[in-house]
Every structure is written in structure tokens, then in C-alpha cells.
Structure 1
Amino acid sequence: MDSELKNILRDHLLKNHSADELRRWYDPLRLTMNSEQTELSVVFPHAFFSQWFAGSHQERFEQELHAFFAAPVRLRYGTNGSSAKAAQTPAAGEDDVRTLDYPFGREFAFSSFVQNNKNAFPIISAREVAKQTDPTFNPFIVCGPSGSGKTHLLKAMANELARNHGRENVFFGSVEDLLHLYEGECGGDAMKARAQVCGYTFLLVDDLHLLKGHRDFQSEILTLFDSFYDARKQMVFGCLGNLPSYDFLDPKLKSRLEWGLIVTLAEPDLEVRIACVERFCRQKQLGLSRERQLTVAQRFTDLRFLQGVLLKLYAYKEFVSTEFSDSDFDRIIAQSDDGARGDVDPQTILDVVAAFYGLSLGDLKGARRHHNIVRARQVAMYLSRDILQTSYPALGRQFGGRDHSTALYAVKKVRTLMAEDVHFKDQVETLRKRCLADD
């Protein structure tokens, strides 16, 4: 039974890990499930392997186990020659048994937060705060632009704190959730709501910028802050933008918030977005080519919206067709709007440019090389690239099946002309505004 479980779990892990990876860190493990199917023992070959595993693979392994069992399971670790003892973290006590549970969402874990060096300090800081028993950085504040992963990071901290200290000791919610607790669940009884919140050991509040619309509630946040701080209980806040720019905050509350450690998440760059797309495609077995992965990652800069676009592509694969034609893919992407481009799609840009230059769509997509037609075609390619972030191979396809190098040359040519000719630059900017307004 134990070998059968290990083989089945190995097949599950292969969805997100290579066979070579599993040979290094998974195959040496010995797994034993109790008869009630409620507790899994993991035995390491020796103590050094245990230490290496804890630092390199334990967190992701536990996340995968939770997904595999789809229910809370207790986990015990041990080494050969000793009985498996309760899984430990630096914050756990000697007699603790770790439960594989993610009460704030299985997808929210440190291991699933895609990062590069730009966000190394915020992630490392969040991990340290989540495992400390005596709060050193209190409050801990995560700032950043929309879609940078603030909520993911706060929920990852909440999950880690819940697993180490118990779900009942962790409050996670937005400012709006707190207001609902005060005005809804507690019927406006501030003392009752305050006592309930102060009963938690950890307070994590997201979307602090919403206090701008609830200035009267700031005094209550200040009271909660003082209560948690005096009791040496950890507080974590999420802020859109930068906390120092919050001129709407009560000076006393703002001063207290600035006591703590403030970290800022950088806007996800192309490297991070590509990694997110690759991971989604691997997990969902969404067979997007490298070119299509790059197209999606280049066009959609907000991680939340990027996730939504990928889900739309996944739904098409599951419910409509297992294969994407070029036209299917381009249509789905064009219909996806990230909130920054209005309802612009490739056809809108073609129509606007054709009308401006007095040409037909056939002229823009055709083979004619008249100077006026070539210039209009190049401008249309430039606008498609600038507004929609269309990849160069996709641009080539949209304009009569041309090579990607032709599209690349066109975009560079327009940029050069705009730098040299103010009149031409104004002309292109006028067309850009027409495209964005034409909905």
C-alpha cells in the first residue's frame, strides 16, 4: 500500500516537476499512511537530507500534498533509525503536529509566488515575519502597484501563520471585511467587534487605501493597532501604491504605521509574467507554443488580468476545441481587455489607419509596395505593437502572412521617423487616440 501511494503521488508530482527533480528529492523518501488515512509519515534517509529538504523542497512538497489529498492531513517527518516525529518549523513547538491545510486558498503560498531579484527582499522579509514567534517587524507593510501580488503575499503569510499557530488565531481580510464585521456581523456594536478582532493573535489587513472612503473608521484601526502593538501581536497591512503618499490618513495612524518595516513589490516585469504563463500552462497542460506564451505575457501586464486571460484560453481548450488555430487564439486575445486599452482590437486599428490614409483593408494586408501604402502599413503595425503589445510573428500573420522581421523593421522605422519628424509624430499620436476612442 505504501509503495502504491508513493507511485500515485509521484505521478501527481510529475505535473509540476521533472523526473530528474523527483529522483533527487522525492524518490529517497519513505512514505507511510495510517489506517484512518488522516496522517502521513515522511521518513528521510539521514539527517543531512532532512535539513537540505527543509530548506529546498518542503514548502512546495506540502503544497502539492494538500492538492493531492484535497483534505486536511496531518504530516510527520522523521529520519531512518528514529520514529517519525511531528513536522516542525522554527515557530513550532516540540509536540506540534503540522496539518496540511491552506485556509486562505491553496494557491496562495510562498512557493507559488513567482519572483525575480527585484522582489527578493519583500519575499524574504515576509517569510521571516511569518515564522517569527516574537514580532520584530511590527507592523509589516507590503506596498506596490495593482496586480503586483500584494494580496497573494499577504494570504501566503496568513496560510503559513495558520498552519503553524492554528486558523483560529489568524484574522485576514480587507478594510471592507473589517467594516462588515463591525457594521454587519456585530450590528454596529464596536466593543463587541473590537473584542472579537483583538482575540486573534495575528492581524492581516489588505487594501488599506480603502480607508480613504471611510475616514471615520480610521480611529478604530488606530485603537486596534495600539491593542495589538501593546500585546506584542503581529500586524501585517497591504497598501496600494506607497504608504507615505497616503495624505488622507489620520496623522497618528500614519505615524504608527511608519514605525514598522515597509517593503514594496515591484510591478511584474516580462520575466515574471513569462514565468507565470509557463507555470499555468504546465499545471493545466495548456499547450501554448512559446510564441503564444510570449504574446500573452507581453500584452497583459497586470497579474490578475493575465490569470483571467489564461483561464479563458483554458476554458476554450476544455469546452470548445483542444487545438487553437491562429485565428482562434488571436480572437480570444483581442476580446480580452486589461482595463488599459478600452475595446481596441486589431480590426479597430486597421479600420482607423485605412480610413485615415484613404486605403482599403486589402491594401494594408496586400503585397502592393506604393510608398503611401507601405507607410500606412508600417504605422498600423506600430500601433498594433504599441497599443496591443502584439508579438512580431503575430503582426506578420495579421498583415498578409509576412515574416516577423518585416514587422520588426516596420515598428523600428516608425519609431525612427517619429523621432526625426514632429509632424509625423503628431500624425501617429492622432491615430493612436482615434484607435483608443473608437469603441
Structure 2
Amino acid sequence: MKKALREHLSASCTEQELKRWFDPLDIRMSGGGDEVQVAFPHSYFAQWFAGKMQDRFEAELFRFQGHPCDIRYLAPAARRGQMAANASQPGDNGSGLAHNAMQPRKLAFPFDAQYSFESFLTNSKNFFPLETARQVARSDNAQFNPFVICGKSGSGKSHLLKAIANEVAKTHPLDSILVTTGEGLRSLLSPEQNQLSAREHLCRHRFLLVDDIHWLAGDERLQQELLVIFNIFQDARKQMVFTCQERIGVWEDMLPALRSRLEGGLVVGLKQPDMEVRVALIQDRVRAKKLPLSKEQVLTLAQRFQNFRALGGILIKLLAFRELVRRDISARDFEQILSNTEERDQPKITVDVVIDTVCQHYQVSKKDVLGEDRRQNIALARQVAMYLCRQMLGLSYPALGRSFGGKDHSTVIYSVKKIHEMQEDTREMKQLLKDLKLRCRQPA
């Protein structure tokens, strides 16, 4: 088993690296392949391995196995006695494996194997958020609670959140972990649900991880409910992890009590991936998917696409071309794919784009929407445009008021709340808002 695993690792590790960290390991597998046992040569090596190589080893072992399994690390101090016990263990079949007192780690990656700490490429700029996320995932006492990750779209917030969930799942039952989004939390706690039952369902979990919590901004009812859940989790020392697009301090419409609790935890900021990290990401994906790109093409992608999400999209497109057309990607093919993609990468959505799109749908003028006209169709168009600007751009209520001809922020709050209630009550409005969002994102 060790020889085959070494051959697998040789695709991503140099011979020198394998001699340094892999060869000293004593690796054995149970008869059914459901458990892998790893023993270290000495305690210093075990400590170094846990801090430097464990994430990488477990991610590669999962890829090698191709199915979930348990991994049990054998402490060096117990190794001699354990191996002796294994030799006399009934039914061992010569595998050298037996049950011991160490708790096995589950190697399953239930929240998608692509999201791990090992695969989160970064440099010194984001080193602190990455290392802190590791500590949060491996701590049993919720030392950093809540843990809040801030960063712009495509900076890797969702990756870190799911990496934490995958790491936690190695040592805790899957049903103790709830991973959702701001929108998912809104659905779980919607007025149509039994509030007490929904709250009890959430609080049965030991870990609560919510991606894009900024979607709760402006919804006072939902924030009040989250505040209750927050207090329950914190009093029980159960871990909470949140991500959001901006620093918590810039949210003008967050309940002061909720803001205080979020800021009272550990808040870290992710910076957008720089050129070095983008190149590393492309090289890693290209190697894993065996996509033949030259150094010049790798650099071109890293220069033209600025965040993880955009890079992931273009790499999928290149891979799909090779798989579907069934030929290598020529220089001409490469440039054509990029030229067709570049204009659509991260289209710029502005208040004007949203207003123009809504005006076109309702067949009203932009001047009327920005003015004081209160006719029903114009008022509805204005309210829909305000709601979409709030949802898609995350603007504060005062900023929205200024963008709509100097409207009072109370008018904006009323408009956003009204459309929010309408889309929850009627399927037609919900579908219309989805259609308008898609049209806003389409290149002109």
C-alpha cells in the first residue's frame, strides 16, 4: 500500500520531498481498507508532521483511496507496545493493525473534497487567516468564537469556511455540523416555519457555519432571531463561523447587539489573491487535470483574471473544450476562448445598470423612477430597483436614498421591505427578481 501511495504522491511531490517526510512514516492498512494506520519515527517528527504535512497527506490519501476511510495516528511513545500487541491480536491476519486507545480521524470530506486547507493557496498576505482557520477547526473549546472571515467576492471566503467544516468532520459526527448560507438561514427561519422548532433544529448542532451573512443585513426580524441563536451557541461554547463581503463596522443597518457580538469574536480579512498566488492556483489545477498549458498561457490567465472564482471558471471552460472537442488546445483556440470570456468576466453591475434594466422591464423612464412620481407602476419599478440594488450591490439605505434622487432612508427601508415580503408571498415576484438579476449580469 505504501509503495502505491508513494507513486501517487510522486505526481505532486519531488523525490527529495518524499524522502524527507513520507519515507519515514510507517503506513499500514486494515484488511478491508477501511482504516489506515500511520506511525511516526519519533515525537519531534510527529509534531512537525502535524503542523506542516498532515493536511496535504490526508487530502492526497483521500484522492488515492477514492472512498472514505478512517486514519489513525499512532503516537511514537505507544508504538513499540502497540506493535507488540498487534502481533498477538486475534484475527489480525498479519496486517499489524489492531484497535487502540487513539481516536481515528474520518477521511471523507463531506463538504466537497476540493475545499481543504491544503488546497487553499496563499502567501504571507493571507497566512494569518489560514492558520487561524486551522486552529478554529481543531479546537475543542471554541477558543475563537465567533470566527468571522471578511473579504471581497472571489477572495476564498467560502473555501476557508468549507475547509473548516471538512476538518471538523474528521473528528465529529456529521449531524453535529450545519453549513449553510445567509439565504439558507433565511429559509430555515422564514415566518412560514415554526420558529421554536427551527431554532431548536439549529441549536442541536455543535457547529454553525454561515456563508455570506451579509444577506441578513436590513432584515431586523432575522437578525433578532440570529441574536437568540448566537447567545445559545456562545453560552454552550459551540463554535460559530461566518463570512461576509465587508468589514462588520461598515454595516449601517445591523442591530447594535448583533454587531457587538460579531465584533467580539475573531475577525480576519482576506486579501484578493495576488499574481504569485494566482499563478500557483493555475499550475496546481493544470497539473491535477493534466491540462497542457505553456508558461506563457499560465501567466496570461493570471494577469487577466483577478480572483479565484474567475480563474476557476476559465479553467473549467478550457478543460471542457479539450474534453468535448477532443483535441489539444492550440494557441489560436486559447486566445479565442479568452476573448469570448474576458468581456463576461466579473461584469460591472452599477446602480445605473440595475435601474435601466428595471425601467426596460416596466417600460417607464429613468427620470420618473428617480423622481417623485407616485403612479403605481412607477412606484413599483422604483421599489424593485431599490431592492435589487440592495441585494446585488449591498448598498446602505442612506447610500441608496442618495442614488435614487435624494430619497429619505426610511423610504428606502419601506421599499426594500415591501419587495422582500412580496417575493416571499408570490411566486411571480420571486421569479421576476431572479430574471432581472440575470439580465443585470449580462454584458451590454
**Superposed pair shares fold, TM > 0.5:** yes
1:83 corresponds in structure 2 to: 82
**Residue-by-residue CA offset, 1:220-260 (whole Å, 9 max, x unaligned):** 11111111111121211101121111112122211221111
State the alpha-carbon separation in 1 of the partners of residues 291 and 82 from structure 2: 42
State the alpha-carbon separation in 1 of the partners of residues 143 and 27 from structure 2: 37
2:107 corresponds in structure 1 to: 100
1:217 aligns with 2:216: no
- Displacement, 1:95? 4.1
- Displacement, 1:192? 0.6
**Residue-by-residue CA offset, 1:359-414 (whole Å, 9 max, x unaligned):** xxxxxxxxxxxxxxxxxxxxxxxxxxxxxxxxxxxxxxxxxxxxxxxxxxxxxxxx
- Displacement, 1:319? 2.7
State the alpha-carbon separation in 1 of the partners of residues 335 and 253 from structure 2: 44
- Kept after mapping to 2: 8 A contact 1:145/1:267: yes
Letter in 2 for 1:304: R
**Residue-by-residue CA offset, 1:206-225 (whole Å, 9 max, x unaligned):** 11110136442111111111
Superposition pairs for residues 77-156 of structure 1, below 5 Å?
77-78=73-74, 79=76, 81-83=80-82, 95-156=102-163
- Displacement, 1:72? 1.6
Superposition pairs for residues 393-404 of structure 1, below 5 Å?
none
Q: Among 23, 47, 54, which residue is 2:50 paired with?
A: 54
| Secondary structure in structure 2 of the residue aligned to 1:339 | coil
State the alpha-carbon separation in 1 of the partners of residues 42 and 262 from structure 2: 45
- Displacement, 1:71? 1.8
1:31 aligns with 2:27: yes
2:306 corresponds in structure 1 to: 301
Superposition pairs for residues 5-24 of structure 1, below 5 Å?
5-24=1-20
State the alpha-carbon separation in 1 of the partners of residues 144 and 46 from structure 2: 29
State the alpha-carbon separation in 1 of the partners of residues 129 and 18 from structure 2: 29
- Kept after mapping to 2: 8 A contact 1:162/1:168: no
- Kept after mapping to 2: 8 A contact 1:138/1:234: yes
Q: Among 260, 267, 276, which residue is 1:262 paired with?
A: 267
- Kept after mapping to 1: 8 A contact 2:73/2:104: no
State the alpha-carbon separation in 2 of the partners of residues 213 and 248 from structure 1: 5
2:398 corresponds in structure 1 to: none
1:253 aligns with 2:248: no
- Kept after mapping to 2: 8 A contact 1:108/1:153: yes
- Displacement, 1:295? 0.4
| Secondary structure in structure 2 of the residue aligned to 1:286 | coil
- Kept after mapping to 2: 8 A contact 1:148/1:303: yes
1:167 corresponds in structure 2 to: 174
1:347 corresponds in structure 2 to: none
- Kept after mapping to 2: 8 A contact 1:208/1:238: yes
State the alpha-carbon separation in 2 of the partners of residues 33 and 270 from structure 1: 41
1:45 corresponds in structure 2 to: 41
Count of matched residue pairs:
332
Q: Give % identity.
A: 43
- Displacement, 1:183? 4.0
- Displacement, 1:77? 2.2
State the alpha-carbon separation in 1 of the partners of residues 60 and 173 from structure 2: 20
**Residue-by-residue CA offset, 1:274-324 (whole Å, 9 max, x unaligned):** 111111111112121110000001101121121110111112222324422
1:282 corresponds in structure 2 to: 287
- Displacement, 1:341? 6.9
- Displacement, 1:16? 1.9
Q: Among 317, 320, 329, which residue is 1:315 paired with?
A: 320
2:62 corresponds in structure 1 to: 66
State the alpha-carbon separation in 2 of the partners of residues 56 and 280 from structure 1: 21
Letter in 1 for 2:189: Y
1:231 aligns with 2:236: yes
Q: Are residues 256 and 65 of structure 1, via their aligned partners in 2, closer, same or farther at CA, if it must alter by over 3 Å?
A: same
- Displacement, 1:165? 2.2
2:334 corresponds in structure 1 to: 329
Q: Are residues 292 and 129 of structure 1, via their aligned partners in 2, closer, same or farther at CA, if it must alter by over 3 Å?
A: same
| Secondary structure in structure 2 of the residue aligned to 1:62 | helix
Structure 2: where are the runs of 5+ without partners?
86-99, 350-441
| Secondary structure in structure 2 of the residue aligned to 1:133 | coil
Q: What TM-score results when the alignment is normalised by the length of structure 1?
A: 0.71
| Secondary structure in structure 2 of the residue aligned to 1:75 | strand
Q: Among 189, 199, 202, which residue is 1:197 paired with?
A: 202
2:91 corresponds in structure 1 to: none
State the alpha-carbon separation in 2 of the partners of residues 157 and 115 from structure 1: 16
**Residue-by-residue CA offset, 1:5-47 (whole Å, 9 max, x unaligned):** 2222222212222222112222232322111221112233333
Q: What TM-score results when the alignment is normalised by the length of structure 2?
A: 0.70
- Displacement, 1:94? 5.7
Letter in 2 for 1:294: L
State the alpha-carbon separation in 2 of the partners of residues 189 and 12 from structure 1: 51
1:182 corresponds in structure 2 to: 189
State the alpha-carbon separation in 2 of the partners of residues 290 and 35 from structure 1: 44
- Kept after mapping to 2: 8 A contact 1:139/1:236: yes
State the alpha-carbon separation in 2 of the partners of residues 259 and 46 from structure 1: 40
Structure 1: where are the runs of 5+ without partners?
86-92, 343-436
Superposition pairs for residues 309-388 of structure 1, below 5 Å?
309-336=314-341, 337-340=344-347
